[in-house]
Structure 1
Amino acid sequence: MPVDSKKSDRIKLIQQALQDQKAIHLKEMAALLDVSEMTLRRDLTRHPDKFHLLGGHITLAFDPAEASDYKVTEQGMRHVEEKRRVGKLAAAFIQPGDTVFFDCGTTIPFVIDFIPDELEFTAVCNSLNVLLKLQQKPNCSIVLCGGTFHRKNQVFEHHSEATILDGIRLTWAFVSAAGVSDELGVTCFNFNEVEVKQKVLRQARHCMLLADHSKFDAVRTAHFATLQDFHVVVSDKKLPKAYRDLIEGYGARWVV
């Protein structure tokens, strides 16, 4: 195969990978493509209009004019390895026949990556990035809470979605957060996420908080829960010991 053709194929594969997970480490992508990191760096520098290399992670180029206080694409570039670990640990809890609510945010798609394709389950979601991941699972039945689409956090919001959730019984609620504080509670960036988060926490049989270590001792604008509301907390190995002790004190389980 001609050299230029190989380069073109690599560029296409990188673009496909980034459609799914927003950011991927240079070393990981080089291994997937079976090329050296130096070769991959040269490929990327030839296409500054397509890719950015930030902190060792490859991302799709985006228009800075579109930047906002919180963007799913921007947040997806942060703590990718930790989010991948959280996703793998959380996915192991899903059993055949479960009905699972998948929250919005950038950690949740990593959970879906680790769900076996052969597993039959029902997924409930209210965000575009999660929906796009779920539709790749051939044995997953999907329920989407529709409504007005908010581009900033890719969430669908509609007051009637409460009636959709009222008719569903959840085995698990997988809930993400942007801030976790024992004193000030569990928080997110956007008020349009609060109602659904609180509803699924009330009616799910088991509630799981997914948050990498960077979220702990952080406080964001919109409060929706306390640590006591969760049965399981999944994080990475850098989860502060003080929070491990708090979680156990509340009778919950922590997994790292």
Structure 2
Amino acid sequence: MNDRTEKLNEYVQQKGEVKLKELEKIFPDVSSMTLRRDLAQLEKQGLILRVRSGAVSVDSIKGSKEVRYNLRAEENIEAKEIIAQKAVELIEQGRSLYLDSGSTIMCLADILPNEHLSILTSGPNIGIEVAKKTNPSIMLIGGQLNRNNISVSGLGAIEFVKLVNIDIAFMATSGFSLEAGLTSGDYNECELKKYVIQKAKKVVVLMDSSKINKNMPYTFAGLKEIDVLVTDKKLPDEIMTATIANNVAVY
């Protein structure tokens, strides 16, 4: 780590979260491209997390069950958009859809076709995004709000889901491994996901490649309980073998 990178790291650690424009003012003789390379180096060392507009200190987000939603929403944007474009092809007009919470599902909600669809979601922000379209009907389930990922869950949410039918459930995951399956960082959300998967005729999981071999505390499903896995990159051979063995279609 050179002197400039050390100073840059010290500034990010002190501030917690910085914008690239701030760094350009602090280092006026350094190009934006060089600053981005410095941030990439610090990220590889596990000191910061790069986001679209700058960087955040890893220490500033330690202790959370999951990285705050507004930070995660800026991670792997290109991958999430690729996944959403694939997933939207699986939607048929007139169907009853469940849209899970999370930033990848938000990308799907953004490009959802303006057709007659019945949308049920645990994400208030997902519902608001879908409401920008005129044809889909929208139901928000009730429950306790998790500020980290803008979702509701709990007993009230499960009781609501019992009353509805679901053709296709589009689910998000915080982690996946062959040993632990699909995992979540919150117990109540995990229980809601389990129930939605039981109710749905078809289960589609949206997962970017950064989630592979990352385990969160609670497992909500294994490969045998889902029908489709949508991702941004080719899966490792051992995972592809497991999806074939469990009759999971991969897009």
Task: Give the alignment's TM-score, normalised by structure 1.
Answer: 0.73
Moved more, 64-73 or 147-156: 64-73
SS at match of 2:103: coil
1:231 is the counterpart of 2:230: no
Aligned mates of 1:178, 1:98 — CA distance in 2? 26
Query: Which residue is equivalent to 1:79?
Result: 76
Query: Which residue is equivalent to 2:95?
Result: 98
Query: Which residue is equivalent to 1:201?
Result: 197
Aligned mates of 1:157, 1:144 — CA distance in 2? 11
1:143 is the counterpart of 2:139: yes
Indicate if the aligned counterparts of 2:51 and 2:74 stay in contact, CA closer than 8 A: no
Query: What pairs with 1:110-189 in structure 2 (closer than 5 Å)?
Result: 110-117=107-114, 119-189=115-185
Query: Which residue is equivalent to 2:52?
Result: 57
Moved more, 149-158 or 122-131: 149-158
Query: Which residue is equivalent to 1:108?
Result: 105
Identity over aligned residues, as a percent? 25
Indicate if the aligned counterparts of 2:176 and 2:182 stay in contact, CA closer than 8 A: yes
Letter in 2 for 1:218: K
Alpha-carbon shift at residue 215 of structure 1 (Å): 0.9
Letter in 2 for 1:133: E
Indicate if the aligned counterparts of 2:154 and 2:192 stay in contact, CA closer than 8 A: no
RMSD (Å) for aligned C-alpha atoms: 2.6
Aligned mates of 2:143, 2:121 — CA distance in 1? 12
1:242 is the counterpart of 2:243: no
Task: Give the alignment's TM-score, normalised by structure 2.
Answer: 0.74
Alpha-carbon shift at residue 246 of structure 1 (Å): 1.3
Cα 1:135–1:66, aligned 2, differ >3 Å: closer, same or farther? farther
SS at match of 1:107: helix
Moved more, 83-92 or 124-133: 124-133
1:192 is the counterpart of 2:212: no
Q: Which runs of 5 or more structure 1 residues have no equivalent in the other structure?
A: 1-40, 47-52
Cα 1:60–1:140, aligned 2, differ >3 Å: closer, same or farther? farther
Letter in 2 for 1:99: S
Cα 1:73–1:42, aligned 2, differ >3 Å: closer, same or farther? closer
Indicate if the aligned counterparts of 2:52 and 2:75 stay in contact, CA closer than 8 A: no
Letter in 2 for 1:244: M
For this pair of structures, how many residues does the alignment match?
207
Indicate if the aligned counterparts of 1:92 and 1:115 stay in contact, CA closer than 8 A: no
Letter in 2 for 1:136: K
Indicate if the aligned counterparts of 2:51 and 2:75 stay in contact, CA closer than 8 A: no
